[in-house]
Every structure is written in structure tokens, then in C-alpha cells.
């Protein structure tokens, strides 16, 4: 895999520049959250196609290769990013397709969780290819439009059973 959907210049770890106006918060534990300005996010929602993008048909599809309405969903921008211990999870959103996914690095598993309006988990996607590679990886997409939300995560447990997810907030 390449650096992933909407690969742009970033730092040595593969992180892309945050292209939306944003705020950065340092937590007490030293982790860092970068969150897009709510007005910028609202503009993205408004820009999403009136028909809601590709809908549930995009669930489980690769944003870098799945073609909907003549184009891939790689118009995405980062909405949230959570950095911790040298790894990160980015919550990516495509206004063209009205989908979200996780892009992460390094030496971690990627996970993404989609939620219904009532807060129950409706779907999840995972990518474990990055556990030993140190390269950026991404999950498949989940529909993220209207009242649906998504959160991007990386797994701090690399071997054995169980998971210890470090996540962004929901979008």
C-alpha cells in the first residue's frame, strides 16, 4: 500500500499536514488531540452530496480504490487526530462519498467504529497490516452522514489477545 488516500507531504512518520483550521490539546497523560474547527467541519457536512454520498454501499470498501459516481473517495481531510507514544490515529472524512475511515501509523493495528444516532455501534472495520511494517495504513470506509458518527482508533496491544484502543472523538 502507498501512504494512503489523499497522501500529501507530511513529517517523517507519515503524518499529513492538518489542512483544516484546528485546535491542538495536550492531555495530562502526554497524548495530543488535534481537532478540526467545528465551523470547518460543518462546512464539510454541507458540502457532502445532497443524496448522502454512496451510502451504506461504501461500507467495507477501500477509499483509495473504490469508485463511486466516477471517482474514488480520496478527497478526504483529517477531522481528528490522536497522537500517543509515537503512534497516531487520524479520522478521515470524504465529503464526496460521505464516509469516514482510520489512517494510522506506526507498528499498530487500525480500527474504526461507526455508531447509529442512538449511540449503539452499527459497524466496525480493522486493518492489522501495520503491526510489523512501520508504514501508514488505513481501514476500509464506513458511511458517516446525517446522524451517523465514526471514531478512529489504534490498538496499543500488538501481540496476544484483547485490545487497548486509543481513539479520537466521534465525528
Q: pLDDT tens, 31-71? A: 999 988 888 887 777 776 666 788 899 999 999 999 988 88
Domain range holding 79? 22-167
In total, how many domains does the chain have?
1
Residue 10 lies in a domain: no
Cut 0.95: pTM above it:
no
Backbone angles phi, psi at 43, to 5 degrees: -65, -40
Residue 14 lies in a domain: no
Mean pLDDT in the chain? 84
Residue 9 lies in a domain: no
* Average pLDDT score over residue span 119-144: 91
Judged against a pLDDT cut of 50, whether residue 13 lies above it is answered with no
Residue 7 lies in a domain: no
Residue 11 lies in a domain: no
Distance CA 76, CA 135 (A): 19
Residue 48 lies in a domain: yes
Question: What is the reported pLDDT for 15?
Answer: 54
Distance CA 130, CA 166 (A): 15
Between the alpha carbon of residue 58 and those of residues 66, 67, 69, 97, the distances in Å are 8, 9, 12, 8
Give the chain's count of helices (H) and strands (E): 1, 11
Amino acid at each position: 500500500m502507498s501512504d494512503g488516500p489523499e497522501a500529501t507531504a507530511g513529517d517523517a512518520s507519515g503524518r499529513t499536514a492538518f489542512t483544516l483550521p484546528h485546535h491542538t490539546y495536550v492531555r495530562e497523560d502526554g497524548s495530543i488531540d488535534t481537532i478540526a474547527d467545528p465551523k470547518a467541519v460543518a462546512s464539510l457536512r454541507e458540502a457532502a452530496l445532497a443524496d448522502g454520498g454512496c451510502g451504506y454501499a461504501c461500507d467495507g470498501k477501500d477509499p483509495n480504490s473504490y469508485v463511486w459516481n466516477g471517482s474514488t473517495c480520496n478527497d478526504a481531510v483529517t477531522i481528528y487526530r490522536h497522537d500517543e507514544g509515537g503512534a497516531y490515529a487520524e479520522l478521515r472524512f470524504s465529503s464526496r462519498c460521505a464516509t469516514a475511515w482510520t489512517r494510522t501509523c506506526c507498528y499498530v493495528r487500525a480500527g474504526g467504529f461507526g455508531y447509529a444516532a442512538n449511540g449503539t455501534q452499527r459497524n466496525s472495520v480493522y486493518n492489522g497490516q501495520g503491526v510489523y511494517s512501520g508504514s501508514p495504513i488505513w481501514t476500509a470506509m464506513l458511511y458517516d452522514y446525517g446522524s451517523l458518527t465514526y471514531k478512529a482508533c489504534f490498538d496499543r496491544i500488538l501481540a496476544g489477545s484483547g485490545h487497548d484502543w486509543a481513539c479520537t472523538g466521534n465525528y
